Amino acid sequence: MTRFLLAALLLLPSSALFAQAAKPAPATPAATAHPEVVLHTSQGDITLELYPDKSPKSVANFLQYVRDGFYSGTVFHRAIPGYLVQGGLYTRDLQAKRTRSAIPSEADNGLSNLRGTVAVARGADPNSGTAQFFFNLVDNRRLDFVGNQSGLTWGYAVFGKVIKGMDVVDKIAALPTRGLGPFAGDVPNPLIVIDSAYVVGEEPANAPAASPQTAPAAEPAKKPSGKKG
């Protein structure tokens, strides 16, 4: 059985309408800013644009982990060519780090798991996502929200996309893999480490210089999970 593993109307008095010429409508408020995050990895830099307007809880959760320095020293423990690259929880020794409480799923936000998007990884329970995330290597529409009947139909919450460094993600996906620690397979060899992560505009004083980047990959297999395997 498939483990499937997502307005104010201002009225002027009528006398005023005749007493003065029409004024241009006030400018609409600027759209919600899309924060950017840089993941400085041992394979190169990956820059993400986040969507707090669509996935407020997921973005706030991810940004808090970034600002806390949680991702420094974690690895990408799962890479499946033509499917996804997953990380954000395990150390170099493949020991899971202690996380904050899980967040509610926002997979029904209308965003699709297209190539280059980043989504919340989870277990069987749709509301079990914590620190883990995954990059979609191809258009994984089968991971989109279908309905709230079960974890199988709920899908995975997209909360951003890669705007620079997708070639780095592809290089990670192209590495040979092996079974290691608690995982039976799909662990990149060598392990790719997130050395640091920071919000653009909030760079730490010792933020590393951007790493040079490189080229792409492609097609599907298993399901992303907040658990092992």
CATH numbers and ranges of domains, the chain: 32-199 (2.40.100.10)
* pLDDT tens digits in sequence order for the chain, 229 residues long: 333 333 222 222 333 322 333 344 444 334 449 999 999 999 999 999 999 999 999 999 999 999 999 999 999 999 999 999 999 999 999 999 999 999 999 999 999 999 999 999 999 999 999 999 999 999 999 999 999 888 889 999 999 999 999 999 999 999 999 999 999 999 999 999 999 999 999 977 555 544 333 322 222 234 565 543 3
Contact 27, 188 (CB under 8 A): no
Which of 181, 221, 228, 184 is closest to 80 using CA atoms? Answer: 221
> pTM for the full model?
0.78
Joined tokens for residue 199 = 């919000």
Looking at residue 14, its amino acid is S
